[in-house]
Amino acid sequence: MGDSRLRVGRRGFRATCLVAGLVCAVFVAGTTWSTLSPDYPWDQGELVADLVIVAVSGVVSVVAGRYARRLGGDGDVARWLPPETGGPVDPGPPRRAMRVGLRWSALWLVVWTCVAVLGGVAVAAKNREARWLLDHGARDPGVVVAVHKPSKRPVTVDVRYGSSVVTVRRTTRREYAVGDRVEVYHDPADPSRFRTADEPNPDRVLEAVGFVSVFLGWLGLTVQAVAVARWGLRFRAVSRTGWRHARARYTVEPGKARFVVRFADGGELRASGWVMSRMHDSGWTPVLVGGTGGRMVIQLEDGRAARVAARAPRSLP
């Protein structure tokens, strides 16, 4: 019963850690997106509320993760690894393999950060365009001559000003009717640049590129930041436990590799990790194993370091 309660508690803390981390990431991305808007209400306390949610969810995620690892017994090396009987292990090669994995995660972190930044630049350019027309564009009175309300696309409004008729995409909650008076701001040197006093009429391509880039960038940045942090935790775990000689075989499933590790004393450990490139089902091969619990590393026969998480402490014959 005690072990069962520990497993339930560990799963509960892990779920809390994951949910709180997702809340933190979503609010960071949403707050960043909102503050890029020129109409963001800086004086209404919304930013302070968002930052409080980010801070609280981040702290809850970290604390829940620590309790989950503590309940999992990650600090008890004897539960996961046997005493070394195959002679001392040179830590140089496996640590170099771990550094390769860390560098790849760090590289992808930089890539996704650049994607998010470029998306922010696109959004800022869209907002600057709309603001420039208000500040420097020519202003003419206009009248709504048609309102289009398709079922699956944004509402658009045809506006006549002078001798021109332009189509403005509605992005506010204002309801338009034929005959409504509006103010049109346009660039005399470029008739394709126009907006109304209420509708910024953003460039659709620029808006789509900015939104998708910011969303994907923050998502990838979050995933890779977690990956880099996990590599750091594994370095600490391996420094504490050292390496053990063992034999292992693994099977590759969609998105996951499952390992069975056998040590010299007959103990067996089951773990799972991400599938790496050129990874196929294997027979029993010599490996090196280090770390504990969810912070384990297996150096494969081809010299690469696989990040794995053990399902349970090793079983003895």
pLDDT in tens, 47-67: 788 888 888 888 888 888 777
Task: Provide the 3-class DSSP secondary structure of residue 227.
Answer: helix
In a domain, 188, yes or no: yes
- Secondary structure (DSSP) of 147-166: EE--SSS--EEEEEETTEEE
Final residue before a domain boundary, out of 72, 96, 112: 72
At residue 115, the pLDDT reads 92
Give residue-wise pLDDT tens across range 244-291: 888 888 888 777 888 888 888 888 888 888 776 666 767 888 888 888
In a domain, 93, yes or no: no
Six token digits for residue 301: 């026969």
Please count the structural domains in the chain.
3
* Domain, as residue range, for 83: 76-88+242-317
Task: Provide the 3-class DSSP secondary structure of residue 113.
Answer: helix
At residue 42, the pLDDT reads 60
Q: CA-CA distance, 53 to 41, in Å (whole number)?
A: 18
Q: Are residues 8 and 59 in the same domain?
A: yes
Bridge partners of 168, per DSSP, are 157
Q: Are residues 47 and 81 in the same domain?
A: no
Q: What is the mean pLDDT of residues 192-201?
A: 85
Final residue before a domain boundary, out of 174, 203, 232: 203
307: Cβ contacts below 8 Å, ≥ 6 apart: 101, 230, 231, 234, 273, 274, 296, 297
Q: Are residues 41 and 82 in the same domain?
A: no
pTM of structure? 0.69
At residue 108, the pLDDT reads 93
Q: Are residues 83 and 61 in the same domain?
A: no
Give residue-wise pLDDT tens across range 106-130: 999 999 999 988 888 887 777 788 8
At residue 273, the pLDDT reads 82
Q: Are residues 248 and 276 in the same domain?
A: yes
Q: Are residues 58 and 82 in the same domain?
A: no
At residue 296, the pLDDT reads 86
In a domain, 98, yes or no: no
Q: Are residues 255 and 317 in the same domain?
A: yes
Q: Which of 24-38, 80-94, 102-116 has the highest mean pLDDT?
A: 102-116
In a domain, 107, yes or no: no
| Beta-carbon count within 10 A of 305 CB | 25
Give residue-wise pLDDT tens across range 66-82: 777 666 555 567 777 88
* H-type alpha helices, the chain: 2-35, 46-71, 92-136, 204-241
